[in-house]
Amino acid sequence: MQNNDSLLQLLVDFFDLCTDTRPEDIAQPAIAAWDSLASVQLVAELQSMYHVDFELEEIETLRSYEQIRNALSKKGVSLDKSPVA
């Protein structure tokens, strides 16, 4: 795993994935535990960890590593370092 990718680490920990999971393998259809409740909990975790707020339209698109990364990027979040605690 890329140690400097805080989003990848968050998703691996959140869904209890193997530490060698690749970002391109993280998508809702590929993860059985990623149901509607997990989606709500994940959004809450993302908003807390990165100090952002998502609109409903944005939340509906957060279904993969890449989509989440893009949404955070649009909000000015840099994912190459650990988030501010």
Looking at the chain, the whole-number percentage of residues with pLDDT higher than 70 is 89
pLDDT, tens digit, for every residue of 55-82?
999 999 999 999 999 999 999 998 765 5
Q: What is the pTM of this model?
A: 0.87
Contact 1, 73 (CB under 8 A): no
Burial of 65 (0-12, 13-18, 19+ CB in 10 A): buried
